[in-house]
Structure 1
Amino acid sequence: MNTTTNGSWRELLGRTYAPVAVVLAGGVLMEASTVYLTTSLLPTIVGDIGGAGFYAWTMTAFLVASVISSMLVSRILTTRGSMIAYLLAFGLFGLGSLIAAASPGIGVFLAGRAVQGFGGGLLAGLGYALIQRALPERLWAKGAALVSAMWGVGNLVGPAAGGVFGQFGVWRPAFGLLVVLAAVLMIVVVRVLPRTERSASSSAVPGISLVLLTSAVAMVSVASIVPAGIATAATLIVGLGLGAVFVLHERTAKAAVLPRVTFAPGTALKWVYLTVGILAFGIGTEAFIPLFGQELGALSPLLAGFLGAALSLGWSLSQTVSASAERPAVVRRLVIGGPALLAVGLAAYAVLQQSGPSVLVVVLWFVTLFAAGAGIGIAFPHLAVAAFSSVGDEEEASKASAGINTVFLMASAFSAALAGVLVKLGEPSVLSSARWLLFVFAAAALIGAFPAWRITRSRAARQTEEPQLTH
């Protein structure tokens, strides 16, 4: 009998494995929901402690820290074991939440978000990495499905919680609640999580790459607060230049963030990663959408919070449908059409921006953002498979597939930083800021159709039978 297929949801959520499932799923849910909790509360937060010029930094600090810590998941799990790894992750997340809750100004709040991001990146990675070690083989598939589902649940829990707190004009208790939840889950970890063996790690930390990446994102972020004009252009150019140096270093680095096969001749992987990165750029708009909803649409914090999550909700729901597509022609259309649909959705949302909109226009805001998110969702599952099938070696293929999440996080961090620059260009008009941000990001998304086309072309050129994109 095949033991990998006889596990059930009842067994996973039963007395024996439910506590372990709570830890794995709870960590990912905290990471996912915190993004939307924070964006929903940002207008309230900056209204209380100031720092409107650092609006985008709240997302950038969290994402950059998540990128760095996600690179260390395997190393920490190997050298420290499962229990210490999770205690460290929840501890950092709780500490960051506590710093944010007690912050007297935007500087301390950003520091708290960075610490929170370090913990969040570990939680997201551990949620997947520990399934194999903490659950029997027959429950692996159910465990992976449960953990993945938490990203969709976070789309609902985050804005709902943030909207409720924002409705009452308070935000510190929301972060205080995260501290309590982290502490409770730390107790659960000690009681139920199985200990795993420790050993020396053979993987080197890609220190130079991480420094270059962090510096590049930091410089783009600085461009959003320096005086407009030459200073903005100069810092932006330096940031993009450091990003280019990062890519050049990755091509030859012994310890790299991206799989070595990325830059190998003849592989489609570089086009896969470029497409993923461009799709991830759409996520950079999310930090500002609740602000636009409150300032332009006079929406309540609760509704504005859900508006901010509409893009990710479209992504989460559409990928569950798209993943079942198997016909080669259909898959090619989904991969190429994803960036195009993202571009159309963002552009339509930009056109609909106005002060004092009617109910119909507000509804169309939700629809266009959902459509933009669907552009990411219809392409993403097939991009992951394309990454896996772009190389023949099983170990390298595993690294190539894992690189999807790394590239997505890196691109999201860059886009969040660039979003702050574009919003600044439209100041003091919120309407102009919204249009600058959305039209530029729509144009960037449209460019993504080219590398997406190159993926399908590269696959077709290498195969004489059914494309592996559909496997």
Structure 2
Amino acid sequence: MDGSRPPADVPIDDRRRRQIIVGVLTAMLLAALDQTIVAPAMTTIGETLGHAEYLPWVVSAYLVTATAVTPLYGKLADVYGRHPVIIAAVSIFMAASVVCALAPNLPVLIAGRALQGLGGGGLMALAQTVIGDIVPPKQRGNYAAYISGMWAVSGVAGPIVGGAFAEHLHWSLIFWVNIPLGLAALFVMNAPLRDLPFRPKSHRLDVAGAGLVVAATSLAMLALSIGRTSGDWSSPAVLGLAAAAAVGAVLFAVRLWTFAEPLIPLGVLKDPVVAFGVATVFFGVLGHLGLSTLVPIYFETIAGFRPDIAALGLVGLAIGTVLGAMTAARFLVKARRYKAPAMAGLSLAIVMLAALAATLDLRSFWLSEALLCVYGFGVGTMFPTTTVSVQNAVGRHDLGAATALLAFMRSLGSAAGVAILGAAVLGAGLGPEEGGAAARGVAIDPANFRIAFFIAIGTTAVALACLVAMPRRPLRDTLDPVSVES
């Protein structure tokens, strides 16, 4: 390692800690903004570049690669240190943004988006890992509130900025905007990240295991994407990809038990806090993200609102989610029974889902918006609680792998939720990112939305059960010492 690195047991001072926090939050903003700024420009991109039948892959290509590489980033950060890995992730994301902005046709844009996912897949997990390095678990609730605020900014600004760029300027600006943000993140965090305490150890990177998890995840995501956009879940392509993904998952599981130093340490997987924590996130986001793609479709096709009004249906859900996360984050700092807000929140979310299912026929925008806001508040309490609990359960040498596993399951649950709930409602295979359903003359049975809410009730109930089963351990108020080579 760099000989200028400080000794491993020298703490980070407050000034450098603030610089690092600002830098990693800016890096997180890159990834968060990317999830909201692209969708409003999809129609314009299709009209400009052609090949509109491939338009859903502008979203899917990013999701496939970003999800697949997330566990790998966590392990690389544990082996080589946070600084080189997060700098590489931001750099890849920026380079891919240039490819996307300059794309002369849709296939090149899709390839650029896949490359962008290779960088974006590490930004969320690595940023939270770095925060875990420099902030004791007991104090991380304060910073979880900042993260929630960043998500609020991206959730509100992304659709507005993306729509404005596409309609009044040029769609490529939704990718060019990543360059100044990325440069700002690199400038702020590069120097202080070098000072993060880290002592290298001799490791054997599990290349075969990394290949298996990337392959299995990519195949599973492709199966979900093709099934969702085609509507034919029994097609040879979907079934073949799903079978291949299952084989890859089994081989990866075997690799975990047989390799001396697997990609995800067995000690992390066996810890009940980690196991139940990641399960809580998976099932919680399955309903949450699935519904977020369907709400505008309900308001447009069933309630009969204009597309611009229908798009506002997500505002209440987004605001509620952020407020719930911020509330639970404060409890992490002050309360001993820090799981209580999240358990109450998920219980409240189940009640709100039942209320939404019962009031669908009223077709009231403001009633649905209020119920969605309270539902979002309930689910939002889950995110800081699970993140801090999982990080608190592992040592610093496994912090990257554990945090990446949490981010990986969140992405996988999001994709599964969009596919499962989308199939329940849309059936015929219109992907939510393909534009206004009403404009395309798609007839949707209102009862299908009720089915989707019932599915979300079931997955949220499973998330609540996992959270209840997750052991509650006292949050440490000090940082772990940097691991040394044995």
**TM-score of the aligned structures, taking structure 2 as reference length:** 0.71
Of 272, 285, 305 in structure 2, the residue corresponding to residue 297 of structure 1 is 305
Report how far residue 135 of structure 1 moved: 8.7
Corresponding position of 2:266: 260
**Conserved? CA contact 2:23–2:185, under 8 Å:** yes
Using a 3 Å threshold, how does the CA distance of structure 1 residues 284 and 418 change in structure 2: closer, same or farther?
Answer: same
Answer yes or no: is the 8 Å Cα contact 2:67–2:408 preserved in 1. Answer: yes
Judging changes above 3 Å, is the alpha-carbon distance between structure 1 residues 261 and 121 closer, same or farther for their aligned structure 2 residues? same
Query: Aligned match of 2:322 in 303, 316, 320?
Result: 316
Task: Describe the superposition over 1:314-367 as per-residue Cα deviations: whole angstroms up to 9, x where unpaired.
Answer: 2221132245376699558526526624743764686566xxxxxxx3434533
Task: State how far apart, in whole Å, the 2-side matches of 1:209 and 1:35 are.
Answer: 23
Name the residue aligned to 1:374.
377
Mapped contact 2:90–2:182 kept (Cα < 8 A):
yes
| 1:413 equivalent in structure 2 | 415
Q: Is the 8 A contact 2:206 2:263 kept in 1?
A: no
| CA–CA separation in structure 2 for the residues paired with 1:373 and 1:26 | 24
Aligned equivalent of 2:285, options 263, 276, 280: 280
Identity in percent: 20
What is the CA distance between 1:27 and its match in structure 2? 0.3
Shift of 1:114: 1.9
Structure 1: gaps spanning 5 or more residues: 1-6, 354-360, 460-466
Distance 1:100 1:270 in 2: 37
Q: 1:377 to 1:257 in 2, by over 3 A?
A: farther
Q: Which amino acid aligns with 2:215?
A: V
8 Å CA contact 2:67, 2:217 repeated in 1 = no
- Pairwise CA distance, 1:180: 3.5
- Picking from 346, 350, 354, the partner of 1:340 is 350
- Distance of aligned partners of 1:168 and 1:243 in 2 relative to their CA distance in 1, 3 Å threshold: same
Deviations 1:230-268 (A, max 9, x none): x7544444455455545544544326666636876x958
Tell me which residue corresponds to 1:151.
151
Cα deviation for residue 432 of structure 1 reads 3.9
The counterpart of 2:405, out of the listed 403, 406, 428, is 403
| Structure 2 contact 299–313 (Cα < 8 Å) conserved | yes
Distance 1:238 1:331, change over 3 A: farther
Change (3 A) 1:259 1:17: closer
Counterpart of 1:277, as a letter, is F
Aligned equivalent of 2:25:
25
Instruction: Give yes or no for contact 1:219–1:236 (8 Å, CA) kept in 2.
Output: yes
8 A Cα contact 1:271 1:451, kept in partner = no
| Aligned residue runs from structure 1 range 72-221, under 5 A | 72-77=72-77, 82-131=82-131, 146-147=146-147, 149-168=149-168, 170-188=170-188, 193-194=193-194, 199=200, 200-205=202-207, 206-221=210-225
Contact 1:69 1:122 in 2 (8 A): yes
Whether the aligned pair in 1 keeps the contact of 2:125 and 2:407 (CA below 8 Å) is no
Q: 2:356 & 2:244 partners in 1: Cα distance?
A: 28
Separation (CA, whole Å) in 2 of partners of 1:392 and 1:95: 34
Secondary structure at the residue paired with 1:65? Answer: helix
Query: 153-162 vs 124-133, which deviates more?
Result: 124-133
8 A contact 1:83–1:190 mirrored in 2: yes
Partner of 1:356: none
Counterpart for residue 481 of structure 2: none
1:72-102 C-alpha deviation (Å, 9 max, x unpaired)? 3344445665554344222221222222223
User: Could you say what the CA RMSD is over the residues aligned between the two structures, in angstroms?
Assistant: 4.6
Aligned to 1:445: 456
Aligned length: 441
Alpha carbons 1:341, 1:375 under 8 Å: kept: no
User: Any conservation in 1 of the 2:99–2:109 contact (CA below 8 Å)?
Assistant: yes
Aligned to 1:222: 226
Do the aligned residues in 2 keep the contact of 1:271 with 1:454 (CA within 8 Å)? Answer: no
> For residues 210 and 113 of structure 1, what CA distance do their matches in structure 2 show?
17
SS in 2 for 1:468: coil
Conserved 8 A contact 2:225-2:419: yes
Q: Please identify, of 449-458 and 149-158, the stretch whose mean Cα deviation from structure 2 is larger.
A: 449-458
Deviations 1:88-119 (A, max 9, x none): 22222122222222334433332222222222
Shift of 1:283: 1.0
Equivalent residues of 1:331, 1:470 under 8 A apart: no
Offset of residue 33 of structure 1? 1.7
Match of 2:3 in 1: none
* Distance of 2:77 and 2:119 partners within structure 1: 14
Quick one: distance in 1 between partners of 2:388 and 2:135?
25
Q: Is residue 345–residue 379 contact of structure 2 (8 Å, CA) maintained in 1? A: no
Residue 376 (structure 1) shift: 1.7
Indicate if the aligned counterparts of 1:152 and 1:316 stay in contact, CA closer than 8 A: yes
- The aligned amino acid for 2:218 is T
- The AA in structure 2 aligned to 1:212 is A
In the alignment, is the contact (CA less than 8 A) between 2:61 and 2:113 conserved in 1?
yes
